[in-house]
Chains A and B, each alone.
Chain A
Amino acid sequence: MADWTDAQRKTVASVWGQLDAEIGAHALARVLIVYPWTQRYFGSFGDLSTAAAILGNGKVAAHGKVVLQALEKGVKNVDAIKSTYTDLSRLHCLTLKVDPDNFRLLADCLTIVIATKLGAAFNPQVQATWQKFLSACVIALGSQYV
């Protein structure tokens, strides 16, 4: 799919290496707050009625971790992102029935949460490489939709 230079590989690994376990939780909470229609997929998560409730919701936090663990597979396999996410793509289409546009929303929120964490170190070149990686993941997750 995408071609990666050595510099880009290093950048993706470097960004990943600076993320803590809570980033996934923060990113998912942000998606649910900034794009509230995404809450449609989380009916079983309990109280999502306010930003405070979402930020304090244990199920959101736990699921944010699951998402981040799945993203790690892509980080470790940048040359085979499409095949890495084939099964997850089918799951999201057939079982979870998630509109694939939501993957882009999550990617954007994750980028912004990372920007708050890394600050100026998340410079335009790093942002470009990181978003290239996330775009590949987003496309891969949508690739098995029928």
Chain B
Amino acid sequence: MTLSAKDKAVVKAFWAKISSKADAIGSEALGRMLTVYPQTKTYFGHWSDTSVGSEPVVKHGKTVIRALGDAVGKIDDLVGGLAELSTLHAFKLRVDPGNFKILSHNILVAMAVNFPADFTAEVHVSVDKFLAEVAAALAVKYR
């Protein structure tokens, strides 16, 4: 599964559309993930509060979505562009890569909630493919 020229264009256009709400979407997606898939909280034992809207969740959601925004800019070479983040996830964070899919699903839900008219089936498939490629790039250094 690779990103076609159309996928890249669709992702870039949609990301531009959501840019004003991107931070909120990131925080919301992370909050949804921690609520709907409570096993993901095991990675955040060092946070005082993992509830929706809490300070660490809001802050980290921003971090994640901004990194994804950067990845949109590097969409022609995600493996190269995400090499450092892959090293971080593989050796320091050691997040089981199955969780990338879980977070991706919740990012899609947050997008659907906040941009119902724009998050069409065609946008959905391109963004889903993009998130899958990002996940694969993040997992490159794992083993």
Question: How many interface contacts (CB-CB < 8 Å) are there between A and B?
Answer: 55
| Chain B hits for A54, CB < 8 A | 121
Tell whether A55 is near chain B: CB-to-CB under 8 Å.
Answer: yes
Interface residues on B, range: 10 to 19
- Of the candidate stretches A4-12, A26-34, A65-73, A79-87, the one touching chain B is A26-34
Number of A positions contacting B (CB below 8 A): 24
| Complex contact A125–B35 (CB within 8 A) | yes
Tell whether B141 is near chain A: CB-to-CB under 8 Å.
Answer: no
Closest Cβ–Cβ distance, residue A30 to chain B (whole Å): 5
Q: Is the interface of A mostly helix, strand, loop or mixed?
A: helix
Tell whether B108 is near chain A: CB-to-CB under 8 Å.
Answer: yes
CA distance A90 to B112 in the complex (A): 33
CA distance A55 to B125 in the complex (A): 14
Interface string of A23-43 (1 = CB under 8 A from B): 000000110011000000000
Closest Cβ–Cβ distance, residue B61 to chain A (whole Å): 12
- A residues near B (Cβ < 8 Å) are 29-30, 33-34, 51, 54-55, 108, 111-113, 115-120, 122-125, 127-128, 131
- B residues near A (Cβ < 8 Å) are 31-32, 35-36, 52, 105, 108-109, 112-114, 116-117, 119, 121-122, 124-125, 128
